[in-house]
């Protein structure tokens, strides 16, 4: 007995060591993957590529260079051509004009002046992009190019003949309708990038595009590429070792779990094995799914939250391994089905029926039915004609009612949502008709809501793409410039611009995420007793600097006695902060802002009133929609989501939020449940 116990404790120690080794391999795998992504900057294709020339990175750089040259001679041509407005996209121009038309706040709208203004803005954008492309091409001295359409020429070399470019180890020649790339393997179709890496000019006649990469260029970048590949391959070898050891460890645990030795025929169950099999499987699926969701959510931030990835992954792997080994032990012990909830329920039901049958209860019921049925039949024979007549009348009446319901349901199915089934009485058919009418009303409301949601989705997509496109385009452009810029002053200038645009993009995405989360109700709400007067006072104090900056006079009116509401402190302050932010953005400078707190029946009313600096020719419903603003342009610092977020947050706290517009007077009103004095004393 002592020897067996000793072997058993040794077995537990050995399995614990193997389990910890497996977890360590998971940590090593994560570390190796992070290092590979860090070394290759996410371009893990480098592991499977043979040389820099054949690498996807070079193909993209080469394709980008050729595309820029083609854009210069096909589209921009020269600064004079841009200033004349020949590069403006008419569809984009019409889109901007229409957008400005719908965003205007008054009837004073001059189409000619608006069109000229937008044209000037687009010309400035095109000119800026033209200069950035030219500057970007001129940065790399060892990448020579010559592009011309016979009238306009762009070049960083005195060489103008294709024979002069063909001497370089890598070159691209496009002249009139002929083009070639050397090495020729670069012309092959690459399914990963969706096409060839050779770009043909849209106007090939009299067009020449020559690009040549010097030996110094190839040697320098090849050396850097080889260093990255070598480092990435070393980490890949570590990764393969970790993965192999992990699966070997897992296999060992699967084979040995529940047994002291390979010869042991007894399966030793653990405390975790008391979980029912279905619960075990559900936990496995939930943990696995949660891990994938968590990784997908934090994927953009891997570089800054690596410790979270380690913690979540190691914890999930450890728990999932324990649950999996528990299922393996049940399989070995032949209790996989007998220890399931389904088996227990079915077995109980079977035993219950068997007990009733064995007790004779079913037999007694049959005896009662056999005895009573002849008596009822004999009594009915005397009133048989009357019984048949009444039965036929009732049957015809019910059939008529049923046909009416059936016809009404058919009309509704065919699309007549205005039809209503009228059935008198309180019987089952009347209830059925009422339920069908209710379903029809719900369906009509659902169709209405769906149409409204589709319209709002369309507007949301348009507005999001419009608001995000400008900072995102700037981020891409200045990132490309930063790659090749050597002037410290310009680098600092580019970094400041990138910082501004990234903060603007973060504000938009944060507000969009907050709006989506708030409207879905997926926000934890901790309802507590809140002193609403103290909260508003504290909020006004925190924004006193903004009040002074905007030259606003705040008038705060509230009862002398304390007023408490049921709300979540953080969410309520976020709501009030959004309302105040809206006031700061759109209130007329030098005007007064009134904040009133009153009690109305069983709820507390917090109202904010201010004078708008813009004429409010818009309805309350439209202003509450996402990305809808009260000003004439969309170039401000807001996102247009503040009021929408506030409405969702207040509703999540069992409150109500509404706005009223009376001329230039703008009112925001928050309704929240009031805590009565008796309730307050109980809560305390």
pLDDT (tens digit, 9 = 90+) per residue, 117-127? 888 888 888 88
What integer is the mean pLDDT of 355-376? 50
Per-residue pLDDT, 200:
52
Residue 679 has pLDDT above 50, yes or no: no
Highest mean pLDDT among 39-53, 338-352, 549-563: 549-563
Residue 538 has pLDDT above 70, yes or no: yes
Query: 423 by DSSP, 3-state: which?
Result: coil
Residue 575 has pLDDT above 90, yes or no: no
Q: What are the helix and strand counts (H, E) for the chain?
A: 20, 12
Rounded to a whole number, what is the distance in angstroms from the first to the last CA of the chain?
62
Cβ neighbours, 10 Å, residue 542: 12
Burial of 24 (0-12, 13-18, 19+ CB in 10 A): middle
Q: What's the chain's length in residues? A: 684
What distance in Å separates the CA atoms of residue 225 and residue 40, rounded to the nearest whole number? 9
Q: Tell me the pLDDT band of 597, cut-offs 50, 70 and 90.
A: very high
What integer is the mean pLDDT of 660-684? 75
Residue 93 tokens read as 């121009």
Residue 371 has pLDDT above 70, yes or no: no
Per-residue pLDDT, 187:
65
Do 339 and 276 form a contact (C-beta atoms < 8 A)? yes
What integer is the mean pLDDT of 412-423? 78
Do 203 and 209 form a contact (C-beta atoms < 8 A)? no
Taken in order 219, 222, 224, 226, the sign of the CA dihedral is: negative
Higher pLDDT: 390 or 340? It is 340
Q: What is the mean pLDDT of the chain?
A: 77
Per-residue pLDDT, 202:
58
Residue 373 tokens read as 């049925």
Per-residue pLDDT, 592:
92
Residue 404 has pLDDT above 50, yes or no: yes
Residue 611 has pLDDT above 50, yes or no: yes
Per-residue pLDDT, 650:
85
Do 429 and 423 form a contact (C-beta atoms < 8 A)? yes
Do 631 and 586 form a contact (C-beta atoms < 8 A)? yes
Cα distances from 205 to residues 87, 151, 176, in angstroms, run 20, 12, 5
Q: Tell me the pLDDT band of 48, cut-offs 50, 70 and 90.
A: confident
Residue 357 has pLDDT above 50, yes or no: no
Per-residue pLDDT, 198:
47
Do 641 and 515 form a contact (C-beta atoms < 8 A)? yes
Spatial CA neighbour of 554 closest among 593, 523, 522, 517: 593
Q: Model confidence over 484-527: pLDDT tens digits? A: 777 788 778 778 877 777 776 776 676 566 556 555 556 778 88
Highest mean pLDDT among 29-33, 41-45, 358-362: 29-33
Which residues, including other chains, have CB under 8 Å from residue 459's CB and lie 6 or more apart?
625, 626, 627
What distance in Å separates the CA atoms of residue 129 and residue 188, rounded to the nearest whole number? 31
Per-residue pLDDT, 671:
93
What distance in Å separates the CA atoms of residue 501 and residue 595, rounded to the nearest whole number? 35
Q: Tell me the pLDDT band of 635, cut-offs 50, 70 and 90.
A: very low
Which residues, including other chains, have CB under 8 Å from residue 548's CB and lie 6 or more apart?
none
What integer is the mean pLDDT of 16-21? 87
Spatial CA neighbour of 201 closest among 352, 49, 71: 71
What integer is the mean pLDDT of 123-132? 88
Do 135 and 70 form a contact (C-beta atoms < 8 A)? no
Residue 475 tokens read as 């981020």
Question: Which residues, listed in sequence order, are joined to residue 209 by a DSSP beta bridge?
Answer: 147, 174
Question: Which residues, listed in sequence order, are joined to residue 461 by a DSSP beta bridge?
Answer: none
Per-residue pLDDT, 349:
63
Per-residue pLDDT, 194:
43
What integer is the mean pLDDT of 141-170? 88
Cβ neighbours, 10 Å, residue 653: 23
Radius of gyration of the chain (CA): 38
Residue 18 has pLDDT above 50, yes or no: yes
Per-residue pLDDT, 385:
60
What distance in Å separates the CA atoms of residue 112 and residue 93, rounded to the nearest whole number? 13
Per-residue pLDDT, 386:
57
% of the chain with per-residue pLDDT over 70: 75
Burial of 531 (0-12, 13-18, 19+ CB in 10 A): middle
What distance in Å separates the CA atoms of residue 167 and residue 157, rounded to the nearest whole number? 14
Q: Where are the alpha helices (DSSP H) in 525-641?
A: 532-542, 544-550, 569-586, 620-624
Spatial CA neighbour of 340 closest among 281, 283, 285: 281
Q: Are strands 603-611 and 170-175 parallel, antiparallel or unpaired?
A: unpaired
Per-residue pLDDT, 73:
87
Do 467 and 501 form a contact (C-beta atoms < 8 A)? no
What distance in Å separates the CA atoms of residue 603 and residue 676, rounded to the nearest whole number? 10
What distance in Å separates the CA atoms of residue 497 and residue 491, rounded to the nearest whole number? 10
Residue 606 has pLDDT above 90, yes or no: yes
Per-residue pLDDT, 10:
46
* Full-model pTM: 0.42
């Amino acid at each position: 007995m002592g020897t067996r116990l000793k072997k058993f404790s040794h077995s537990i120690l050995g399995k614990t060591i193997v389990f910890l080794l497996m977890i360590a391999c998971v940590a090593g795998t994560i570390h190796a993957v992070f290092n590979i992504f860090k070394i290759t900057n996410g371009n893990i294709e480098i592991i499977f590529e043979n040389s820099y020339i054949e690498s996807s990175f070079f193909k993209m750089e080469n394709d980008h260079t050729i595309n820029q040259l083609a854009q210069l001679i096909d589209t921009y041509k020269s600064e004079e051509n841009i200033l004349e407005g020949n590069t403006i996209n008419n569809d984009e121009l019409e889109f901007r004009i229409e957008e400005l038309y719908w965003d205007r706040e008054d009837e004073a709208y001059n189409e000619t002046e608006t069109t000229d203004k937008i044209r000037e803005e687009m010309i400035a954008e095109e000119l800026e992009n033209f200069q950035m492309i030219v500057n970007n091409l001129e940065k790399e001295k060892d990448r020579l190019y010559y592009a011309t359409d016979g009238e306009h020429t762009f070049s960083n070399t005195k060489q103008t003949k294709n024979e002069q470019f063909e001497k370089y180890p890598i070159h691209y020649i496009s002249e009139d309708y002929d083009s070639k790339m050397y090495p020729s393997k670069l012309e092959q179709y690459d399914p990963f990038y969706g096409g060839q890496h050779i770009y043909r000019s849209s106007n090939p006649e009299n067009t020449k595009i020559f690009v040549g990469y010097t030996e110094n260029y190839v040697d320098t970048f090849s050396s850097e590429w080889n260093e990255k590949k070598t480092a990435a391959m070393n980490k890949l070898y570590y990764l393969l070792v970790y993965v192999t050891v992990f699966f070997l460890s897992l296999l060992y645990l699967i084979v040995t779990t529940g047994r002291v030795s390979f010869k042991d025929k007894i399966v030793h169950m653990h405390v975790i094995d008391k979980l029912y099999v279905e619960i075990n499987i559900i936990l496995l699926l939930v943990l696995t799914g949660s891990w994938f969701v968590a990784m997908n959510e934090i994927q953009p931030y891997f570089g800054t939250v690596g410790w979270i990835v380690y913690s979540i992954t190691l914890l999930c792997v450890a728990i999932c391994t324990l649950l999996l080994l528990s299922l393996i032990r049940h399989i070995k012990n032949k209790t996989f089905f007998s220890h399931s909830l389904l088996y227990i329920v079915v077995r109980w039901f079977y035993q219950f029926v068997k007990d009733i049958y064995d007790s004779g209860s079913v037999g007694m019921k049959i005896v009662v039915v056999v005895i009573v049925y002849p008596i009822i039949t004999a009594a009915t024979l005397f009133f048989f004609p009357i019984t048949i007549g009444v039965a036929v009348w009732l049957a015809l009446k019910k059939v008529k009612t049923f046909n009416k319901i059936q016809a009404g349901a058919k009309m509704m199915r065919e699309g007549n949502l205005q039809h209503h089934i009228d059935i008198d009485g309180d019987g089952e058919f009347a209830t059925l008709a009422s339920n069908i009418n209710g379903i029809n009303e719900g369906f009509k409301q659902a169709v209405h809501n769906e149409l409204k949601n589709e319209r709002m989705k369309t507007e949301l997509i348009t507005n999001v793409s419009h608001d995000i496109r400008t900072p995102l385009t700037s981020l891409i452009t200045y990132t490309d410039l930063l790659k090749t810029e050597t002037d410290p002053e310009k680098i600092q200038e580019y970094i400041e611009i990138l910082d501004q645009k990234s903060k603007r993009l973060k504000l938009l995405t944060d507000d969009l995420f907050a709006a989506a989360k708030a409207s879905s109700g997926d926000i934890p709400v901790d309802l507590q007793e809140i002193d609403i007067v103290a909260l508003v006072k504290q909020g006004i104090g925190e924004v006193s600097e903004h009040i002074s900056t905007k030259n606003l006079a705040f008038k705060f009116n509230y009862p002398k006695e304390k007023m408490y509401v049921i709300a979540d402190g953080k969410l309520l302050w976020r709501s009030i902060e959004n309302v105040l932010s809206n006031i700061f953005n759109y209130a007329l400078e030098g005007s007064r802002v009134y904040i009133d707190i009153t009690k109305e029946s069983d709820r507390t009313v917090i109202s904010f009133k201010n004078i708008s600096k813009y004429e409010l020719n818009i309805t309350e419903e439209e202003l509450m929609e996402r990305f809808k603003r009260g000003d004439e342009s969309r170039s401000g610092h807001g996102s247009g989501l503040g009021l929408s977020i506030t409405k969702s947050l207040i509703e999540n706290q069992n409150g109500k939020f509404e706005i009223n517009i009376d001329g230039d007077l703008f009112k925001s009103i928050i309704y929240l449940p009031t805590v009565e004095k008796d309730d307050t004393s109980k809560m305390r």
